[in-house]
Amino acid sequence: MNYRFVFNIQGKVLLAEAALLLAPMAAALVYHESALPFVYTILPLLLLGGGLSLLKPKNTELFAREGFICVGLAWILMSLFGALPFVLAGDIPRYVDALFEIVSGLTTTGASILDNPESLSRGGMFWRLFSHWIGGMGVLVFIAAVLPVSGDHYMQIMRAEVPGPTVSKLVPRVRKTARILYLIYLGLTVLEFIFLLCGGMSFYDAILHAFATAGTGGFSTRAASIAAYDSVYIEMVIATFMLLFGCNFNIFYFLLLGQFAAVFKSEELRIYLGIVLASVLLIAGNIAAAVGGFGRGLRYAYFQVMTVMSTCGFATADFDTWPALSRWVLVLLMFGGGCAGSTAGGMKLSRVIILVKSFFHELRQQIMPSRVKRIWFESKPVSDQTVKSVQVFFFAYMAIAGLVVLILSFDGTDLLTNITASIACMSNIGPGLGAVGPSCNFGFYSDLSKLVMSLEMLMGRLEIFPVMFLLSPSVWKGR
Amino acid sequence: MKIVIAGAGKVGFTIASCLCREGHDITLIDVRRSRLDSAANAMDVMGCCGSCAAPSVLKEAEAGAADVFIAATGNDEANLVACQFARQMGAGHTIARLHNPEYLESAETLKSIMDLNLVINPDHVTAVEISRVLQFPAAMQVDAFPDCGMEIVTFRVAESSCLNGVRLTELGKRFGQKVLLCAAERDGRFLIPDGNYVIQAGDNISVTAAPKALRKFFISTGAYQKPVRRVIILGGSRIAEYLTGLLESTGVAVTIIEENYDRCQQLAETLKTADIVCADGADTGILKESGLNEADGFVALTGYDEDNIILSLYAHREGVEKVVSKVNNDKFTELLHSMFPDTTLSPKNLVAEQIEGYVRSLDYASDKSTIEALYYLGDQNVTATEFLVGAGSACVGRSLAELQLKPGVLLAAVTRAGKSHLPDGKTVLQPGDKAVVVTAGVTVVRLDDILR
Q: Do residues B413 and B145 touch, judged by C-beta distance below 8 A?
A: yes
Q: Identify which of A368, A372, A381 has the shortest CB distance to residue B264.
A: A372
DSSP collapsed to 3 states, chain A: CCHHHHHHHHHHHHHHHHHHHHHHHHHHHHCCCCCHHHHHHHHHHHHHHHHHHHCCCCCCCCCHHHHHHHHHHHHHHHHHHHCHHHHHCCCCCCHHHHHHHHHHHHCCCCCCCCCCHHHCCHHHHHHHHHHHHHHHHCHHHHHHHHCCCCCCCCHHHHHHHCCCCCCCCCCCCHHHHHHHHHHHHHHHHHHHHHHHHHCCCCHHHHHHHHHHHHCCCCCCCCCCHHHHHCCHHHHHHHHHHHHHHCCCHHHHHHHHHCCHHHHHHCHHHHHHHHHHHHHHHHHHHHHHHHHCCHHHHHHHHHHHHHHHHCCCCCCCCCHHHCCHHHHHHHHHHHHHCCCCCCCCCCCCHHHHHHHHHHHHHHHHHHHCCCEECCEEECCEEECHHHHHHHHHHHHHHHHHHHHHHHHHHCCCCCHHHHHHHHHHHHCCCCCCCHHHCCCCCCCCCCHHHHHHHHHHHHHHHHCCHHHHHHHCHHHHCCC
Whether the CB of B261 is below 8 Å from some CB of chain A: the reply is: yes
**Per residue in B5-41, is it b (16+ CB within 10 Å) or e — as a string?**
bbbbebbbbbbbbbbbeeebebbbbbbeeebbeebee
- Residues of chain B with Cβ-Cβ distance to A383 below 8 Å are none
Query: Are B275 and A381 a contacting pair at CB < 8 A?
Result: no
* Residue of B109, B60, B107, B58 whose CA lies nearest to B87: B58
Cβ-contact B174, B166 below 8 angstroms: yes
**Which of B275, B279, B289 is nearest residue A373 as measured by Cβ atoms?**
B275
Interface check B180 vs A, CB under 8 A: no
C-alpha torsion sign, points B164, B166, B168, B171:
negative
User: Choosing among B248, B264, B280, B292, which should be mutated to test the A contact, i.e. which has the most A CBs within 10 A?
Assistant: B264
Q: What are phi and psi of A371, to 5 degrees?
A: -70, 140
Q: Does B266 touch chain A (CB under 8 A)?
A: no
**Three-state DSSP class for B8?**
coil
pLDDT of residue B365: 45
- Whole-angstrom CA distances from B385 to B3, B66, B173, B209 are 21, 25, 28, 15
Closest approach of B236 to chain A, Cα-based (Å): 12
CA–CA dist B269, A374 (Å, integer): 7
For residue B187, the one-letter residue type is D
Answer yes or no: are the C-beta atoms of A429 and A423 closer than 8 Å: yes
Within an 8 Å CB–CB cutoff, is residue B262 touching chain A? no
Neighbour-count burial of A462, counting CB atoms closer than 10 A to its CB (0-12 exposed, 13-18 middle, 19+ buried): buried
CB contact under 8 A, B279 and A373: no
Q: What is the CA radius of gyration of chain A?
A: 22
* 3-state percent breakdown (helix, strand, coil) of chain B, nearest 5: 35, 30, 35
Q: Which of A267, A366, A367, A370 to mutate to test the interface with B (most CBs of B within 10 A)?
A: A370
Residues of A within 8 A of B261 (CB-CB) are 372
Per-residue pLDDT, B196: 82
pLDDT profile of chain A (479 residues), mean per 10: 86 92 93 91 94 84 84 93 93 93 93 88 92 90 77 77 78 85 93 94 93 91 88 93 92 89 88 95 92 89 92 85 90 87 88 94 88 88 90 94 94 91 91 86 92 94 88 74
Comparing CB atoms, the residue among A370, A374, A376 nearest residue B277 is: A370
Looking at beta carbons, which residues of chain A come within 8 Å of B264?
372
Cβ under 8 Å to B: A residues 356-375: 368, 370-374
Give whole-number Cα distances, B440 to A220, B157, B379, B391, B402, in Å.
Answer: 88, 20, 10, 26, 21
Minimal Cα distance from A372: which residue of B? Answer: B276
Identify which of B109, B137, B126 has the alpha carbon closest to the alpha carbon of residue B242: B126
Amino acid occupying residue B194: D
Q: Is B159 on the interface with A (CB under 8 A)?
A: no
Cα-based distances in Å from B141 to A50, A177, B253: 80, 55, 22
Q: Which residues of chain B have pLDDT under 70?
A: 146-147, 177, 363-369, 378
Which of A368, A374, A379 is nearest residue B277 as measured by Cβ atoms?
A: A368
CA distance A159 to chain B (A): 24
Beta bridge partners of B371: B387
The complex's ipTM? Answer: 0.71
Domains and CATH numbers, chain B: 2-120 (3.40.50.720), 147-220 (3.30.70.1450), 230-320 (3.40.50.720), 356-450 (3.30.70.1450)
Q: Which helix (H) or strand (E) holds B426?
A: none
Residues of B in Cβ contact (< 8 Å) with A370: 277-279, 286
